[in-house]
Amino acid sequence: MSSIRRKYTPEFKADAVQLVVVAQRPIAQVARELEINESSLGYWVKIYREQHPDPVKAPPPVEAARLAALEAEVRRLSEENAFLKKAAAFFARTQP
């Protein structure tokens, strides 16, 4: 029997982690409710806690995921902007 590997969005993972971290609910209970593997949820919670060791200063998991997505978007747009500047300079030089 083959198992189908499910992929979860960062938002889903952040919501699941928030149920454990912020609401202080057991991993097993949240995993059953969301119909996901306990070890997967435990791993997501572990990663979040490693990245945010101080629970007082740590942003909620949903905000952390949103911030990471925004930072990735800023990086991508900065790279595109740099490329477009180089292309514009190249075409400006090659015009007769």
Domain count, the chain: 1
How far apart CA 41 and CA 9 sit, in angstroms, is: 13
Asked if residue 49 belongs to a domain, the reply is yes
The predicted model scores a pTM of: 0.61
| Structure confidence at residue 96 (pLDDT) | 64
Asked if residue 2 belongs to a domain, the reply is no
Predicted confidence (pLDDT) per residue in 58-83, tens digit: 777 888 788 888 999 999 999 999 99
How far apart CA 58 and CA 46 sit, in angstroms, is: 14
Predicted confidence (pLDDT) per residue in 1-43, tens digit: 457 778 888 889 988 998 998 888 999 999 999 999 999 999 9
Asked if residue 80 belongs to a domain, the reply is yes
Asked if residue 1 belongs to a domain, the reply is no
Q: Range of 70's domain?
A: 10-94
